[in-house]
Amino acid sequence: MSLTMPTATVEGIQLTVTPFRPDAVIGTMGLPTLLQLVPNPKKEEDKRALKYASGAMRQHAALRSLVQRTLTTQKGRNVLTYAAYIAAGIKGEHGAAWSLPPVTLWLDGQPGAIGDELLPGSGIRTITVIPGAPVIAIDGETQVTAWHALYDEPERYGVSYEQLSRIRVPFELYFGLSVEDARQIFYDRNVEGVPVAKNLAMSMDQRDFGTQIAHRVAGTVKVELDGKIVPFSKLVQARKRQLTKTDPELVTLSALRVLVITALHGRAGLGLSSATVHDGDLPEGVDAEQAERELVPLLASLVSDLYPHFEARDAISAPAVLAGLGIATHQATSWAKAGPRLSQDELAQLLQPVRFEREARYWDGVAASANASGTLNFGGGAKDAGGRVADALLHPDSEYGRRIRGW
């Protein structure tokens, strides 16, 4: 008697997917499945560990090196921060305001099997990835590495395996492409897109302390517009980094945030204008409640007093000028340590004679540069010119101090 052999079936990892082109599908998979499909890139760059790894792992690492950058760059330094962000999201600390992009995977070769449509006309079907088939993240690899970090040490991030086992990770999977095609997708995803300016991105971060206070200040100040009293926030552009002459808004949110950060930290705030500022990043001895309690009325009064210059579209809306104003305002906070302390009235007296008109005789060489025809360019930004503006504001008898006051 002999046994009948089973009908040939393809064994492997089965994924439920929807195709969006003949060689690519989208879907979601459980986190353990993703980590089984895509080895930890960090381990693949560990030469000592790779020396004793299986042949399949070494081959995978060699193929990955052809289509991915190494983790020795800023990318690698972002892994732990990314893992902490994901963990906070899983624990509900971000509420609904968090998101992860789909991971882009490349299967070197073809799926072992492609099933029929599960629902006729829907395109939904299963594909099977053969064990050991090389699958590489050509976009979203930092996220994959962060997921590995979470799964390797969940207790470090305050999550559990039970929580992680319930995670579904969205993905897109390309297959049957050459190495050259995979490299091109990597390039397109990382270069062809227009990157968002860092300070604009910061102004969109609702967990950022500077953005929170900027919104509070803009909402507190009331101004007259077309015969009606409206919050200043109506005149704050939150979607763009720079204003054009046709924009109805008078200042960008990112520039207003620079005012907040420099008022909070003084000159040190210039280096933080493009960095996320959370409650733990406040000046020593200052908590979020105290900072908000002092800064909102102080800056609201400042913006209200100087509103005519905003309305006239003077130099005041330039990030460098707002940075200098923030540094000067810092001297009126209770936590200012360096430089002379100012009362709110003393600060107002310093600013009252300043000529905020966009004219070269006032701002050339201080916050802007003028061309041969006298047209000003404020492109230097807060970091380059904010300190000079602050010196000019705080020291009326200095060369720049006299210049911006027309003396």
Whether the Cβ atoms of residue 15 and residue 84 lie closer than 8 Å to each other? no
At 328, phi and psi to the nearest 5?
Answer: -65, -40
**pLDDT recorded at residue 389:** 95
Whether the Cβ atoms of residue 253 and residue 247 lie closer than 8 Å to each other? no
Whether the Cβ atoms of residue 150 and residue 159 lie closer than 8 Å to each other? yes
136, β-bridge pairs: 106
Query: What is the mean predicted confidence (pLDDT) over 199-208?
Result: 70
Residue count (the chain): 407
- Residue % of the chain over a pLDDT of 70: 96
At 215, phi and psi to the nearest 5?
Answer: -65, -40
Burial class (CB in 10 A: 0-12, 13-18, 19+), 89: middle
The residue among 123 and 198 whose pLDDT is bigger is 123
Residues in contact with 114: Cβ distance below 8 Å, sequence separation at least 6, in sequence order: 125, 126, 127, 128
pLDDT at 199 over 60: no
Taking only the tens place, the pLDDT of each residue in 95-105 is 998 999 999 99
Q: Which two tokens stand for residue 291?
A: 């900072």
Q: Which two tokens stand for residue 106?
A: 């490349």
Whether the Cβ atoms of residue 148 and residue 31 lie closer than 8 Å to each other? no
**pLDDT recorded at residue 35:** 96
Would you give the DSSP letter of residue 170?
A: E
Three-state SS at 103? strand
Full-model pTM: 0.69
105, β-bridge pairs: 137, 173
Q: Which two tokens stand for residue 36?
A: 């089984």
Q: How confident is the model at residue 317 (pLDDT cuts 50, 70, 90)?
A: very high
Task: Decide the pairing of beta strands 168-175 and 24-30.
Answer: antiparallel
Secondary structure of 177-193 in HEC code, one letter for each residue = CCHHHHHHHHHHHHHHC
Euclidean distance between CA atoms 261 and 259, whole angstroms: 6
Q: Which two tokens stand for residue 5?
A: 């052999």
Whether the Cβ atoms of residue 258 and residue 326 lie closer than 8 Å to each other? yes
Taking only the tens place, the pLDDT of each residue in 364-394 is 999 888 888 888 888 777 888 899 999 999 9
**pLDDT recorded at residue 180:** 93
Three-state SS at 333? coil
Mean pLDDT is highest, among 242-251, 309-318, 333-342, for 309-318
Helix/strand/coil percentages in the chain, nearest 5: 50, 15, 35
Query: What is the mean predicted confidence (pLDDT) over 41-62?
Result: 86
Euclidean distance between CA atoms 10 and 129, whole angstroms: 9
Whether the Cβ atoms of residue 235 and residue 225 lie closer than 8 Å to each other? yes
At 130, phi and psi to the nearest 5?
Answer: -65, 140
pLDDT at 55 over 90: no
By mean pLDDT, which of 56-70, 107-121, 340-354, 386-400 is the weakest?
A: 56-70
Q: How confident is the model at residue 132 (pLDDT cuts 50, 70, 90)?
A: confident
**pLDDT recorded at residue 244:** 82
Query: What is the mean predicted confidence (pLDDT) over 291-295?
Result: 95
Q: Hey, where are the domains in the chain?
A: 13-193, 200-404
Q: How confident is the model at residue 8 (pLDDT cuts 50, 70, 90)?
A: low
- What is the pLDDT of the chain when averaged over all its residues? 90
By mean pLDDT, which of 104-118, 242-256, 319-333 is the weakest?
A: 242-256
pLDDT at 308 over 80: yes
Whether the Cβ atoms of residue 139 and residue 184 lie closer than 8 Å to each other? no
Task: Decide the pairing of beta strands 369-370 and 376-377.
Answer: antiparallel
Question: CA of 334: how far to CAs of 263, 281, 343, 361, in Å?
Answer: 11, 17, 10, 35
Instruction: Produce one character per residue of 14-46: b if its CB has 16 or more CB atoms within 10 Å, e if not.
Output: bbebebeeeebbebebebebbbebbbbbeebbe
**pLDDT recorded at residue 202:** 62
**pLDDT recorded at residue 100:** 95
By mean pLDDT, which of 34-38, 69-73, 147-151 is the weakest?
A: 69-73
Mean pLDDT is highest, among 110-119, 189-198, 239-248, for 110-119
R_g over Cα of the chain: 28
**pLDDT recorded at residue 206:** 76
Mean pLDDT is highest, among 72-81, 107-116, 363-372, for 107-116
Closest C-alpha to 392, from 377, 407, 380: 407
**pLDDT recorded at residue 203:** 62
Q: How confident is the model at residue 7 (pLDDT cuts 50, 70, 90)?
A: low
- Amino acid (one-letter) located at 342: L
